[in-house]
Copies of this chain bind each other. A is one copy, B any other.
């Protein structure tokens, strides 16, 4: 199965990279842009993996729970 883990800064945490990206988008003509968050996407195959183990890895290895939230998607 394919696993996609998306890690984004928590909405309560300042995201300077997102703010800089928003400015650059406006300069390129996308005036309506709001709320840009820049995070990570980690994608992999893991045949027969246990969902609890995947959550453990997403929480402990792939994200920093103090600053970031993760979303785990498991595709067949």
**CB within 8 Å of B: which residues of A?**
6-8, 18, 21-22, 24-25, 28-30, 32-49, 53-54, 56-57, 60-62
Contact = CB atoms under 8 A, between A and B. Distances in A.
A21 B45 contact: no
B30 A35 contact: no
A53 B30 contact: yes
A71 B53 CA distance: 27
Q: Which are the 8 A-B pairs with shortest beta-carbon distances? A: A36-B44, A41-B41, A34-B45, A32-B47, A39-B41, A35-B45, A6-B41, A33-B46
Contact of A25 (B30, B40, B61): B61
A43 B37 contact: yes
